[in-house]
Chains A and B, each alone.
Chain A
Amino acid sequence: MLLLQQAINGVMLGAVYVTMAVAFTLTIGVLNFLNFTIPALFMVAGMVGWSLVTNGLPFGLVGHLHWAPALLIGIGCAVVLSVVIEQLSYRFLKARHGDATEHAIPLVSSLGFLLIIENLVRVRFGTDMRAFASPFQGISWNLGGILISIPQLASLVLSLLTVFGLSALLRGSKVGRAIRAIAENPEAAAVVGVDVRKIVPVVFAATGLLCGLAAAIYALNYGEVAPSMGDDIGTKAIAGMVLGGLGSIWGAIAGGLLVGLTEAFSIQLFGSDAIQASVWGLLLLVMILRPQGLFGHSAIGKGKF
């Protein structure tokens, strides 16, 4: 019974990781680009939401906002910021240096943006953890001795629905086909008439949306935000992505949930100090035994990055 309860907690915990891992896997699968601004986007959405609830809009336009519009604006900020970063870094660098770049230019540039955004937020709001007054805390559903937190369940469903919707769009819509064509081969996609310059921002907007959603789920379920919240969650989402296999959306879902489960069970078995060791130990083990991850195919992430 206790194990089942832990399994449920783990899956709930995985909701945030799944959403972020899909964001990572999308940019790496389509653009072969490990985007380190994702933790910053996650944090910005959460901090903007918190600031609007606590301080209201800037310039004293409106007083304290309700949590729902505040978080929606937070998600919007993450989307806009992601697209702006694409214009400033990824597109600009590709146009300037071409594809055969000195290695890792976009990756290093995204590390630079991570530093800028995180520390600007620290300058503005300080480094403290902030309480996000969640309206739903403590509502849970008792199912024969097993507690299921309703908001966590709702978050899990919401994040899975978003990811499924995204995957359906990738499969069915015209934009989705164009994105998959770029993932396959950017030059060939351009030759057959895909406007790469218009499609790539869509990928970044989707990344921002997923990060914002993850931040909203995190803020509502755990009742806190902090300028450093992206670091821990972001690295664990990377772990989830690699576990599932780079570039695979189903892999990211499975990997994110697996990270959540590992975390919950290692708390149960070894105490909370052992979380980091078990998650990353598992990841290294999987990387050595099955480097392409659970669902990945080995073509992605090879060559110069």
Chain B
Amino acid sequence: MSGYLNGLLALLCIDVMFAYGVFLPVMTGQINLGGAGFQALGGYVAAWLATTYDCPPWMTLPLGALAGAVAGLAIALPLARVRGVYLVLATIAFGQLVTGLILASPSLGGAQGIAVPSFVGLPVILPLTLLVIVACFYLCATRLGLAMRAVHDDEAVADLMGVSARAMQVVSYTLGGAIVGLSGALYAHQFGFVQAQGFDETLSVYVLLYVLLGGVQTAWGPMAGTCCFVLIPELLRNVLPGLAGMVAAIFGLPIGEVKIDDSWRLVILGAFTVAMMIWRPQGIVTRTLIEHLARPLGVFAKRRAA
């Protein structure tokens, strides 16, 4: 496998894992706009342990995940009594606080970042990502997952049925924090370098959009959304400039060199977001879509009859 493809696949895996970590709070009707802070935390814990104590990756990865879990618990628990938009604002504050603290501590390299000595490649990242995906699918099928879904659909009714909405939210932030923390630790080991500026608010926004546009009704959504928005731009980066040049040539437009840079990619992501919110706010993959696709296979036939 070529180096380019290898790197792309590793980045995709890390982003997919990140997206599942952001997906869990969304499952309970909350929004995590501080995902980058959780990832920075996991990445820096791993990087710091690896540089100062020479910890091998099999120690740094779980500890990075643990740091994310503790942070998720620490943010959700005291704020369990506030709700709605306050918890969103608290996650923004948390993300900013983490990168702010890193920038302010010279022992963590400040704005320079840390170089990470030990390398973790795709043979570790891919199985771990698959594990996270399977775990999330399994979670959706368990009683806990159903309870989380119930809180998402109607908090008051879920509470009435004996599901503690607060507990579900705390659990979802904790599990989500662990997953995002793990993705950060993997990021640190894969790219060998972490820098606080790489984990800014915009990253949180992008990943949240991947999740919401992918669809949050099923566990397929985060994967679909992330693959769409990470892979398609990567393909377009090579195809689109040629295409634009062709169109320009046909109409005889005086466009010398068409440069498709990152800004256009984000304009398209934004436009797609606005369009999706108008026509399909539930996201690309929905429960009914899965049923439609699965019907020919006869997966749901028995359950329907029963």
Chain A residues at the B interface, C-beta cutoff of 8 Å: 28, 32, 34, 88-89, 92-93, 96-97, 101-109, 111-120, 122-123, 231, 235, 238-239, 242, 246, 270-271, 273-281, 283-284, 287-288, 291, 301-305
Contacts and interface: CB of A to CB of B under 8 A. Distances in A.
A119 B269 CA distance: 10
B82 A119 contact: no
B85 A305 contact: yes
Most buried by A among B29, B97, B282: B97
Lowest 8 A-B CB distances belong to which pairs? A276-B100, A115-B270, A112-B273, A277-B100, A116-B270, A291-B82, A280-B97, A109-B277
23 contacts: A93-B278, A97-B281, A102-B281, A104-B31, A107-B88, A112-B269, A115-B266, A115-B269, A117-B270, A118-B266, A123-B263, A123-B267, A277-B97, A277-B101, A277-B103, A280-B93, A280-B97, A281-B100, A281-B101, A287-B90, A301-B86, A303-B83, A303-B84
B158 interface: no
Contacts of A305: 84-85, 88
Most buried by A among B96, B100, B111, B202: B96
B70 interface: no
Contact of B93 (A104, A106, A283): A283
A89 B277 contact: yes
Contact of B97 (A88, A231, A284): A284
B125 interface: no
A12 B273 CA distance: 37
Given A111-B205, A281-B97, A284-B93, A34 B277 contact: no
Contacts of A270: 104
A119 B206 CA distance: 13
Contacts of B240: none
Given A119-B267, A304-B84, A105 B281 contact: yes
Contact of A108 (B96, B212, B263, B264): B212
A89 B277 CA distance: 9
A101 B202 CA distance: 25
Given A108-B209, A235-B96, A287 B266 contact: no
A231 B202 contact: yes
Interface string B201-234: 1100100110010000000000000000000000
Most buried by B among A109, A246, A278: A109
Contacts of B201: 231, 235
Interface of B: 29, 31, 78-79, 81-86, 88-90, 92-94, 96-97, 99-101, 103-104, 110-111, 152, 201-202, 205, 208-209, 212, 261, 263-264, 266-267, 269-274, 277-278, 281-282
A120 to B, nearest CB: 6
A246 to B, nearest CB: 7
A102 B153 CA distance: 9
Contacts of A93: 277-278, 281
Contact of A115 (B29, B31, B267, B277): B267
Most buried by B among A101, A115, A122, A278: A115
A119 B270 contact: yes
Most buried by B among A88, A97, A102: A102
Contacts of B270: 111-117, 119
A235 B99 CA distance: 14
B274 A112 contact: yes
B35 to A, nearest CB: 13
Nearest to B94: A284
A115 B84 contact: no
A288 B201 CA distance: 21
B274 A34 contact: no
Given A112-B269, A122-B263, A277-B97, 6 more contacts: A93-B277, A93-B278, A111-B205, A114-B270, A235-B92, A276-B97
A183 B282 CA distance: 27
A122 B266 CA distance: 10
Contacts of B88: 34, 107, 305
B97 to A, nearest CB: 4
A120 B101 contact: no
Contacts of B85: 28, 32, 34, 246, 301, 305
A119 B264 contact: yes
Contact of B274 (A107, A113, A119): A113
Given A280-B97, A287-B89, A301-B85, A274 B267 contact: no
B295 to A, nearest CB: 24
Given A235-B201, A238-B89, A302-B83, A111 B209 contact: yes
Contacts of A273: 103-104, 110-111
Contacts of A119: 263-264, 266-267, 270
A108 B97 contact: no
A279 B281 CA distance: 34
Nearest to A33: B85
